[in-house]
């Protein structure tokens, strides 16, 4: 008669699966982060804008950063649906953002600046900002290229924190 020894990793996998299933099945609003590359074709930006519009219209809270491209498109969509359900977290102060971004960001009600990161290189500040964003969300939707190191690391970190991650590649 052989006894089976329970593998402790099996219970962790089951717990992860059950947590993801509960989040997917949640019928109420969710906190969804949208992050992605700055270098996005205009047709993709329109799709991202439409998706963020639909997510916010459905009562979800949207969290993003303030960069051009993906994040700017997410902001446009959320602002059209309900600006109160949008939170934008900047990697640095508003003054460190490009002029074209500042014009849009001036309209955002829930804006979080990280001016303590103004002396850091943008890549380092962005990585820290992305960690703050995934710490606040339940689900991450990311648009990246296969060589987008910071974004891919953010997705990995989100998965490590048991967040639901949906990753779309542009290439």
Model pTM? 0.84
pLDDT: is 132 or 20 the higher one? Answer: 132
Looking at the chain, the whole-number percentage of residues with pLDDT higher than 70 is 84
In the predicted model, is pLDDT for residue 5 greater than 60? no
CATH 3.40.50.450 fits 28-169, yes or no: yes
pLDDT per position as a tens digit, 111-146: 999 999 999 999 999 999 999 999 999 999 999 999
Token pair, residue 69, equals: 């491209």
Please state, rounded to an integer, the average pLDDT across all residues of the chain: 89
Buried-exposed string 63-73: b where 16+ CB fall within 10 A, e elsewhere: bbbbbbbbbbb
């Amino acid at each position: 008669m052989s006894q089976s020894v329970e593998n402790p990793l099996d219970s962790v996998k089951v717990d992860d699966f059950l947590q993801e299933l509960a989040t997917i099945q949640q019928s109420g609003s969710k906190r969804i982060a949208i992050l992605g590359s700055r270098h996005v074709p205009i047709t993709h930006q329109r799709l991202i804008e439409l998706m963020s519009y639909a997510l916010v219209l459905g009562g979800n809270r949207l969290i993003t950063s303030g960069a051009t491209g993906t994040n700017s498109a997410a902001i446009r969509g959320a602002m059209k649906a309900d600006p109160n359900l949008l939170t934008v977290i900047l990697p640095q102060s508003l003054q460190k953002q490009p002029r074209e971004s500042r014009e849009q960001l001036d309209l955002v009600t829930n804006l979080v600046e990280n001016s303590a990161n103004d002396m850091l290189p943008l890549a380092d500040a962005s990585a820290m900002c992305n960690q703050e964003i995934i710490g606040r969300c339940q689900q991450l939707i990311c648009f990246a290229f296969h060589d987008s190191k910071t974004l891919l690391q953010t997705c990995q970190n989100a998965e490590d924190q048991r967040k639901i991650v949906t990753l779309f590649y542009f290439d």
